[in-house]
Copies of this chain bind each other. A is one copy, B any other.
Amino acid sequence: MIQTPYLLFLGDAPDQLAAKVAQGIKDWRPDNAVGQFRMAGCGADVKLQDMTLQEGLDAGAKTLVVGVANRGGVISAAWKEVLVQALQMGYDIASGLHNLLRDEKELMAAARVNGRTLFDVRIPSVAYPIANGKKRTGKRCLAIGTDCSVGKMYTGLAMDIEMQKRGMKSTFRPTGQTGILITGGGVPLDAVIADFMAGAVEYLTPDNDADHWDHIEGQGSLFHVSYSGVTMALIHGGQPDALILAHEPTRTHMRGLPEYDLPSLEALRDMALPIARIANPACQVVGISVNTQHLSEEEALSYMAEVEKRMGLPTVDTFRQGAARRVDALDAI
């Protein structure tokens, strides 16, 4: 686990979009961040207090989290100067960049000399077991998409927060680097060796109280030929009790695959349920999460009403309407 709280490193981010990870931490785990560290020319602002490294330490920060995408696939000299200084002052550093911290000699040397840890959260740090398929105690919910990048992480995080508010037992279980940095731990599933994918998901979602819900972060799509194997392992390793179907209704083709149409929600349901019931015969589809960011309010409400009637399942856009109705559905299981 990455130690919290964090100081969020925004560096010289060109714009707000580049600071997606920092924004996610601020939105979903505000208690995990004491402030933000910005360099000259930084065009991002996640509306946390600006702090120097020393002020971050004084506020209790344990880890400097790289909350920003870098440019041109290199960790610049200007960044490195700050990161080395942070290690010297006692910070660990965590990053989800494709360029690994551990591949930078100066950072490795400074970490070693100062006894600090570099977390490259894209790379697994655990030798995961092969899945054994044994039934685990506790309940699990997984969002599966008609396509990639349709709001599955957002859906899971929102349901977790809603359950916490109600005093229910729940944990968000990240399977990608952004989710891992938001919560401080998880499994970077797309970087796991094929034979150990399902075992990694079992490891991530162990036995728990009978009334505890794991919200497992979804990845890929059964219908996305590049990543469907990862989705399959999530379903069989996660042995979910409940599936949420996630959809973005304005996509004209599968993400990155111009030759592939999106499936209907019915097709997704009909393919996913028999697959999920291999690992958990009681699995049900309990709701639909629609990402309507490209629709007007009126279009969105009308679309969701139509889907809800057609599918007979609570259908909401988490961003517009919150996760309450889906949590009601889970609570009824």
Contacts and interface: CB of A to CB of B under 8 A. Distances in A.
For this chain, the copies found in one complex come to 2
Contacts of A199: 226
Interface in A225-267: 225-233, 236-237, 239, 254, 256-257, 259-260, 263
Interface residues of A, number: 42
Interface stretch (A12-20, A66-74, A189-197, A306-314): A189-197
A279 interface: yes
Interface stretch (A35-43, A100-108, A125-133, A208-216): A125-133
Contacts of A254: 133
Interface stretch (A270-278, A287-295, A315-323): A270-278
Of the listed residues A135, A223, A263, the one surrounded by the most CB atoms of chain B closer than 10 A to its CB is A223
Nearest to A227: B195
A198 interface: yes
Nearest to A131: B226
Contacts of A229: 194, 197-198, 229-233, 236
A133 B225 contact: yes
A134 interface: yes
A83 interface: no
A132 B257 contact: yes
A225 B230 contact: no
B230 A133 contact: no
A275 B231 CA distance: 13
B222 A275 contact: yes
A226 B233 CA distance: 8
Contacts of A230: 194-195, 229
B279 A225 contact: yes
A56 B76 CA distance: 55
B232 A228 contact: yes
Of the listed residues A131, A226, A237, the one surrounded by the most CB atoms of chain B closer than 10 A to its CB is A226
Contact of A274 (B191, B194, B198, B271): B271
Nearest to A234: B229
A81 to B, nearest CB: 31
Nearest to A280: B225
Given A132-B257, A225-B236, A257-B132, A194 B195 contact: no
Contacts of A194: 189-194, 197, 229-230, 233
A318 to B, nearest CB: 26
Contact of A259 (B134, B195, B197, B256): B134
Contact of A195 (B191, B232, B237): B191
Contacts of A236: 225-226, 228-229
Contact of A225 (B131, B228, B270): B131
A237 B257 CA distance: 13
22 contacts: A131-B225, A132-B257, A133-B226, A133-B259, A133-B260, A189-B194, A190-B193, A190-B195, A194-B229, A194-B230, A195-B226, A195-B230, A198-B225, A199-B226, A222-B275, A223-B278, A228-B236, A228-B275, A229-B232, A229-B236, A260-B278, A263-B278
